[in-house]
Amino acid sequence: MSLLEHVDAATSLAKNNELQLLVFKVSDAPGAPFYAINVFKTREVVEAGRHYLTLLPSAHPLLEGTIILRGMQIPVLNLPRWLGVTLNKEQIKDSDILICDFNGIIIGLRIMIAHRVVKKNWSEMHAPESYRMGNDTMVINDTRLDDGSLCLVLDYEKLLAEVIPQAMVNTELSPGNLGNLKIPEKLKTGTVLIAEDSRTAQSHLRKIFENSNLKYKIFDNGKLLIDYVQSLIDPSVIPAIITDIEMPEMSGFTVIQELRKHPETRNIPVIVNSSMTGENNKREAQSLGADGFIDKTKSQDIIPLIISVIKR
């Protein structure tokens, strides 16, 4: 797909607190809004009309069926319908399917048209409080395109949790089930700090820590977490910090850089918890000083990981 041919390496973007977004529309109606997704969660865009859709009986209403792409069976989610847009038969025929990788699970999102790729600094991504009100909010943050148009970034983790729950962590499996692991005193008495902008992911982590009887504090982005850490008289009391990679204002990579830059925070254990599980991201997190990396489908294992890091 030509739009994605010139995407920069994740590492070079991360060091500048930058990201690249694939901008698209789910409707060809005049004035239809722009939406976006991080290009590192995408693989390619294919024309829907060129791929036969196999229907799935008794499937979720948003799960249209599956297509076969290079021998792989890929579920297709009706993104327009999730956003309240109904496409007619002709529009469906003319639409595209955006092939994405979430936590190693490959899915297709039906879109109307892929617009272009734009580069943004995370400081240009905004998350108004209105996006965080209520459980039905689908928008996680926004930015402005060069012509001033508003571009919305969706909470794709919320969509996946609704339609393909196995793509997200199952908090019923093992939160609180720490086996014979001995919890270090610092973790038992301290408060783990978490930077995560997705309400869905926040909810999963909240259940995990509460079922494990451990204290935590969640921040909606990396900058808020860093500001809090810098306000502490003695940051060394923090047992561990968990950070997502994709966040408005400040990315998780920049969070790691900021923590490792100062002597008083240099030794705080940092765990990256992300759905961007590519090897480039894992290597970059490690090179910047992260002590561990866990993908969001395995977040129920994050407590044992923190314990092992503290014990090193």
Check which CATH number belongs to the domain holding 305 and give it: 3.40.50.2300
pLDDT score at 180: 67
| Distance in Å from the first CA to the final CA of the chain | 45
> Which domain does 257 fall in, by range?
185-311
Structure tokens at 144: 């402005």
Say if residue 114 is in the same domain as residue 258: no
pLDDT score at 3: 46
Check which CATH number belongs to the domain holding 58 and give it: 2.40.50.180
Of 112, 134, 167, the one marking the end of a domain is 167
What is the chain's mean pLDDT, rounded? Answer: 84
CA-CA distance, 104 to 295, in Å (whole number)?
Answer: 9
Number of domains in the chain: 2
Confidence of residue 131 (pLDDT cuts 50, 70, 90): low
Q: Which of 16-20, 58-62, 64-68 has the lowest mean pLDDT?
A: 16-20
Q: Which amino acid is at 175?
A: P
Question: Is pLDDT above 90 for 140?
Answer: no
User: CA 37 → CA 42, 52, 78, 144, 151, distances in Å?
Assistant: 8, 25, 15, 14, 10
Say if residue 151 is in the same domain as residue 218: no
The share of the chain scoring above pLDDT 90, in percent, equals 46
Asked if the structure places residue 173 within a domain, the reply is: no
Residues 91-95 have a mean pLDDT of 93
Asked if the structure places residue 176 within a domain, the reply is: no
Say if residue 30 is in the same domain as residue 79: yes
Asked if the structure places residue 253 within a domain, the reply is: yes
